[in-house]
Structure 1
Amino acid sequence: MTSDGSKPGLDPSDWQEFRAAAHDLLDACIDRLASASEHPWQPTPEEVRATYALAETGGGMKDPAQLANDLRDSVLPYGTGNTHPRFFGWVHGTGLAEGLLSEMVAATMNANCGGRDHGTIYVERAVIDWTRRVMGFPESSSGVLVTGTSQATVIALQAARLRALGADMRTKGQNGRWLTAYAGAGAHNAARKAVELLGLGHENLRRIPEGDAGLDLDALREKIAEDRAAGAIPFAIIGTAGSVDFGRFDDLNALADIATDEGLWLHVDGAFGAWTRLADSPWKELTDGIGRADSLACDFHKWMYVPYDCGLCLIRNEDEHRAAFAARPSYLAAQDSGLAGGDPWYCDYGIDLSRGNRALKVWSAIRAHGPDGLGRAITDNCRRAAQMGELVSSTPGMRLMAPVVSNLCVFTADETLSPDAQSALNSAIAQKLQLSGEVVFSTTLAQDVTCLRAAITNHRTRPEDIELSIAAVVREAAASRT
């Protein structure tokens, strides 16, 4: 016993007391999920934020019930609100009840999934292999679960760079060689960050003009030829499956043809849109050709509804993937058997040595709902976006600012106003409806107007939620005229 009468170490001094507090908190979490439609986003009050401060000294909290109560009352109510069925801001995933179960098990196991021979490594392999088959990648593919598409893009482009420059790039660097990559003008900012982190400079990410059908293929070919003539080494095309602003899809088969003709690596940013592979027609066909890519970045925490965070980098050729990252010091040497077995280790396929157990929540979602159940939810989200688009088009004064391709709807509340006045109105409506808790829209720029933007990735969204949301916009637009 210590001087204050407690047991040494950091485990609870009374496991039964801890059990009771944990059960109460679990009930609160389940209640929160079961009543998600009653809990929109709300600002965190200043007095609650003040309770988050941490002391520099002191013995800490001895009573597990007190900690559980703080988590329930001061933390649980103040998320981003993305579990609510009328949360359409950005492209936020909405979580699954099964994630609560899998995250409890993952926290209890506390496994480092960087490598070694243990169960969660095999779970991750199962998740990656399942995704490989869904996306049409060959058995030669490999993958690694990561924080999200931003990290996956860095990993993929590093493998692409190694192919372009050869294995000595890891020891000698680029050695003055000038690399260029190509993406549509609306490609996600993750592509820019990736080329900057790799030291290429974002000016060497060539932004190709695009329209509703994706990037301009003729302009892409012309830019590749122009760069080659100037002495550059074009090395990668970045295709988009679901653009973040408008939900657009590049023609992936056409990009694969160009990549083959030009000898370039084709990477696909499929952060959310890749999962239309599970949807019904016509949305499934949006990602035709995705299996021809050299690499794919996608997120399970967006349109697969898995709790944050979990993304995937999938690479067509495992040898190229491993060659870009494997570097095992002696203290991490593999063995034929025992805990140090289990090759391959995931630390040889990405940036992280210490890795959390992301796979278990994905595995649980797939086991619980299957590809058919998840596909039905994705299909329904696309139908809800189409429903919103139809309501906008049939409402006097409103106007769609881009076609509804998949699960995004971008519109203006009153097209009769000047562009500046439309922008001010749309921004004001977004903020007012967020604060009222009725609906969360984000905003984006289209045709020089700041527009309302709905990204529907919520399995809880129903037709009546769409009707209520558009009715709220109509009401606020009318109120602005009085």
Structure 2
Amino acid sequence: MEKTKTTTEQEIDLDPQDWNTIRELGHQIIEDMVDYLKDLDDQPVWKGVPADVKENLKQAMPQGPSDPNAVYQEFKKNIFPYPKGNIHPRFFGWVEGNGTALGALSELLASVMNPNVGIGEHSAMYVERQVLDWCKQLLGYPSDSSGILLSGASMANITALLVARNTASDAIKAGGVDATDGKLTAYCSSETHNCIVKAMEVIGLGHNQLREIPVDERYQMKTDALKEQIIRDQQEGYTPFCIIGNAGTVNTGAIDPMDELLTIAREFDLWFHVDGAFGALAKMVPAYEDKLRSLEQADSIAFDLHKWMYMPYEVGCVLVRNAEIHRAAFTTEADYLTAHDRGLAAGPETFSHFGMELSRGFKALKVWMSLKEHGIEKYRKLITQNITQASYLGSLVKENPNLELMAGIPMNIVCYRFNPGQLDGFNLNRLNKELLMRLHESGVAAPTYTFLEGQYVIRVSITNHRTKQKDLIKLIETSVAIGEDVLGEAFLSEEE
């Protein structure tokens, strides 16, 4: 008889053969992380990825092992030096948060534990439940409402609109959108984020069923136009089911008239959803509490904790006022998910009853640890500080004769452009686009852009706990200097 191999010859795993080696590497990684974060202000906000690095990152899949230290050195050479830059104090692009040191360490701990926060009797399930309770408290939401943590506001909006869609017909969960004869319509402003358009497509209704209502001079939804559109749709045989309000539009930070939207939703018996990706959290600031008080009555709210709560990516949240309706949208029976009385198969209700995912990472830990570290009052002060900084930046723009403020500043977003006068719209757009690209390439600051009524504007979004007034001054000084350089280079031309 052939001799059987020993267990040690047959079995392998992925743990280090020398734990001291990985311990030393871990210490080095933490040292490098701390050095990097404490010296952020001395580094460029952004620099382009060189061609040789891009080529290096096309290498073939490794077939054999590498030393962990060598892998880390390759990371330090080809990946770490070329980040997006959103942790830098002068990053003002899109609406992005910055993370924190303890937040980064919490991600390490979450990965070490590596739980699937979908089902079972284990601590991570209870941590997420506590974080969700805290989120309800932040927005004044009912304690018996439901919620779930997701990758971000895009998935949160999709989740909320799917729940809203199912309220329109008892048959829709079993029969699909055909059960409604393709007549469901939702309503948002023309300034609403593109993820709402995608959500309508993903939930099977299509973007043609999304009515984009015009906005006023403050970029807020016109409620009279909203009512007219709802009535027109009803007369034409459509079934309105949802109004989506913006608590902070991505272009200008505008807040739709929430009280009026809530009243209209109740008048027509429609679901009232709020896309509050970043702006919903301004409700913590006393000056915005009344303006956003209607969030407490919304049927659902989507928002991000990795934006204006400065958490590491990624963690968003959706809250739904009626937990039973939320549960009904996602619950399906499966023998292998049946809860037991005791053991690992006991525990809280599975999160798959409230969203699509059963495999879920431990997003809640960084939120739990961060809130424990700083306390909510500090976050309230930081959000207030960002709003004050936006107002200050607006004053700097107004004081400079070569700059033009392009929209009001209702919250934390400032839109401006370099405008020395005597240039047509075509050349102003070209000048400011070139200015923005050179500003990025300088590494000094990284705002982004948008178009307002066909005019290209530099857009500054301040959701940055590291930003100080000196960073805003530097942004303005550099913008003017680059604008003057571009203007002096005969860069401009006649419109073709």
The two structures share one fold, judged by TM-score above 0.5: yes
| 2:317 equivalent to 1:297 | no
Q: Structure 2: how far apart are the matches of 1:428 and 1:286?
A: 38
Show the counterpart of 2:86.
Answer: 82
Q: 1:430 — aligned with what?
A: 436
How far is the alpha carbon of 1:7 from its aligned partner? 8.6
Give, in angstroms, the shift of residue 99 of structure 1: 0.9
Q: State the distance in 1 between where 2:163 and 2:17 align.
A: 50
> Segments of 4+ in structure 1 off by > 6 A?
none
User: Are residues 465 and 105 of structure 1, via their aligned partners in 2, closer, same or farther at CA, if it must alter by over 3 Å?
Assistant: same
Aligned to 2:276: 270
1:422–1:78 distance in 2 versus 1, CA, 3 Å: same
SS at match of 1:164: coil
Question: How far apart are the structure 1 equivalents of 2:160 and 2:438?
Answer: 41
Tell me which of 94, 113, 118 is aligned to 1:114.
118
Find out whether 1:64 has 2:68 as its counterpart: yes
Distance (Å, rounded) in 1 between the aligned partners of 2:12 and 2:270: 60
1:8-23 to structure 2, matched below 5 A, reads: 8-23=12-27
For residues 411 and 436 of structure 2, the distance between their equivalents in structure 1, rounded to whole angstroms, comes to: 22
Q: Does 1:146 align with 2:150?
A: yes
Q: In the aligned structure 2, how far is the partner of 1:387 from the partner of 1:285?
A: 23
Does the 8 Å CA contact 2:402/2:480 hold for their aligned counterparts?
Answer: no
Distance 1:43 1:56 in 2: 25
* Residue 453 of structure 1, aligned match among 449, 459, 462: 459
Which of residues 87, 96, 106 in structure 1 aligns to 2:100?
A: 96
1:164 deviates by 1.1
Superposed CA offset, 1:426-466 (max 9, x none):
11111001011011121100132111100011100000110
Q: Which amino acid aligns with 1:384?
A: Q
Does residue 320 in structure 1 map to residue 325 in structure 2? Answer: yes
Distance 1:165 1:415, change over 3 A: farther
SS at match of 1:301: coil
Q: Mean Cα displacement is larger for which, 67-76 or 155-164?
A: 67-76
Structure 1 counterpart of 2:78, which letter?
Answer: S
CA distance in 1 between partners of 2:441 and 2:136 (Å): 42
Residue in structure 1 matched with residue 30 of structure 2 by the alignment: 26
Residue 419 of structure 2 is aligned to residue 419 of structure 1: no
Q: Which residue of 2 aligns with 1:171?
A: 174
Residues 180-203 of structure 1: CA deviation (Å, up to 9, x unaligned): 000011000011000011111111
Matched ranges for 1:329-408 at <5 A: 329-408=334-413
**Aligned with 1:46 (options 46, 51, 59):** 51
Q: What is the correspondence of 1:192-211 to structure 2 with a 5 Å cutoff?
A: 192-211=197-216
Give the aligned residue type for 2:147.
G
Whichever residue aligns with residue 264 of structure 2, its letter is I
Q: Name the SS of the counterpart of 1:444 in structure 2.
A: strand
TM score, norm. by length of structure 2 = 0.93
Q: Name the aligned partner's letter for residue 252 of structure 1.
A: M
Please report how far the alpha carbon of residue 364 of structure 1 lies from its aligned counterpart in structure 2 after TM superposition.
1.3
**Do the aligned residues in 2 keep the contact of 1:433 with 1:439 (CA within 8 Å)?**
yes
Contact 2:152 2:314 (8 Å CA) reproduced: yes
Q: Separation in 2 of the partners of 1:463 and 1:36?
A: 16
Deviation string, structure 1 residues 56-108 (Cα, Å, up to 9, x no partner): 452121x2211222223322222100111111111111111111121011000
Amino acid in structure 2 at the alignment position of 1:192: V
Deviates more, 1:44-53 or 1:379-388: 44-53
Shift of 1:235: 0.2
Q: 1:22 to 1:51 in 2, by over 3 A?
A: farther
Cα distance in structure 2, aligned partners of 1:240 and 1:364: 29
Instruction: Confirm or deny: 8 A CA contact 1:401 1:447 kept in the other structure.
Output: no
Q: Report the secondary structure of 1:165's partner residue.
A: coil
Is the 1:214–1:249 contact (alpha carbons within 8 Å) kept by the matching residues of 2?
A: yes
Can you give the 5+ residue segments of structure 2 that lack an aligned partner in the other structure? 489-496
Equivalent-residue separation in structure 2 for 1:308 and 1:46 (angstroms): 27
Distance 1:191 1:471, change over 3 A: same
SS in 2 for 1:289: helix
CA distance in 2, matches of 1:44, 1:479: 25
Deviation (angstroms), 1:216? 0.6
Shift of 1:6: 12
Paired with 1:320 and 1:202, the residues of 2 have a C-alpha distance of 24
Conserved in 2, the CA contact under 8 Å of 1:181 and 1:237? yes
**Is 2:185 the counterpart of 1:185?**
no
1:258 to 239, 264, 284: 264
Structure 2 residue 130 is matched with structure 1 residue 126: yes
Which whole-Å deviations, capped at 9, do the CAs of 1:286-335 have from their partners, x for residues lacking one? 42211110000000111110000111011001000000001131112111
Deviations 1:2-40 (A, max 9, x none): 9xx999311111110111011101111121111121232
Report how far residue 285 of structure 1 moved: 3.8
Q: How far apart are the structure 1 equivalents of 2:197 and 2:84?
A: 26
1: CA distance, partners of 2:411 / 2:238: 36
Task: State whether residues 330 and 356 of structure 2, in contact with CA within 8 Å, keep that contact through their aligned partners in structure 1.
Answer: yes
Distance 1:213 1:449 in 2: 15
Q: Which moved more, 1:217-226 or 1:339-348?
A: 339-348
Separation in 2 of the partners of 1:478 and 1:331? 67
Superposition RMSD in Å: 1.8
Q: 1:225 aligns with which of 227, 231, 240?
A: 231
Identity within the alignment, %: 38
Which secondary structure does the structure 1 equivalent of 2:205 belong to?
coil
